[in-house]
Amino acid sequence: MSAQYIIDGYNLFHHRLFPRRYKRSTKASLAVEQFLLLRWPSLIRKNEVIIVFDGYPPEGRQVSQSKKPQVIYSRDYSADEKIKQMVERSINVRNITVVSDDNQIRFVVKALGAKAMSIEEFIGGKDKGACDHTKKEAQELTKPELTYSQMHKINQELLRVWLG
């Protein structure tokens, strides 16, 4: 069974790492969809990705249940409450990863048996995240700031100071 990612849409849209060029879109839901489809098409193809937004769909917006990624609106509930309900009602909770910056919802879904990650972890700011980066991006994320000889000198100095 494939993994299921449930993403808090507004958390992702308003995060500092979310690219500005996508924010030019008039609707956050379209911006988040475009971002995910263009940045991580394999994540979308191989897994079930559900983006949850607060409130109701914008006027004229058709919400398709079969579209990938799936966009849903929480309607009378908060997006956090909707996400919690989705995890609670799931048959296979261990396959779910909730992506949100809300510490409370991450705590709750972990207690229910699902995985949770922050927006930064998902996008790739910490430990490369859940999504595949291109080779160039991965090299830039792991590029050392110091040369080997600089690191060696620092280690020698620390050994001298600590071990006398």
Kindly report, residue by residue over 70-97, the tens digit of the pLDDT: 999 999 999 999 999 999 999 999 999 9
Contacting residues for 151 by C-beta, under 8 A, at least 6 apart: 144
Higher-pLDDT residue of 47, 143: 47
C-alpha torsion angle, residues 158, 162, 163, 164 (rounded to 10): 90
pTM: 0.72
Compute the C-alpha angle 39/45/49, nearest 5°.
80
Higher-pLDDT residue of 42, 112: 112
Give the pLDDT score at 142: 46
User: Domain segments of the chain: what residues?
Assistant: 4-132, 133-164
The chain-wide mean pLDDT, for the chain, equals 82
Kindly report, residue by residue over 119-146, the tens digit of the pLDDT: 999 988 554 445 544 444 444 444 556 6
Give the pLDDT score at 125: 58
CATH code of the domain occupying 4-132:
3.40.50
Give the pLDDT score at 157: 86
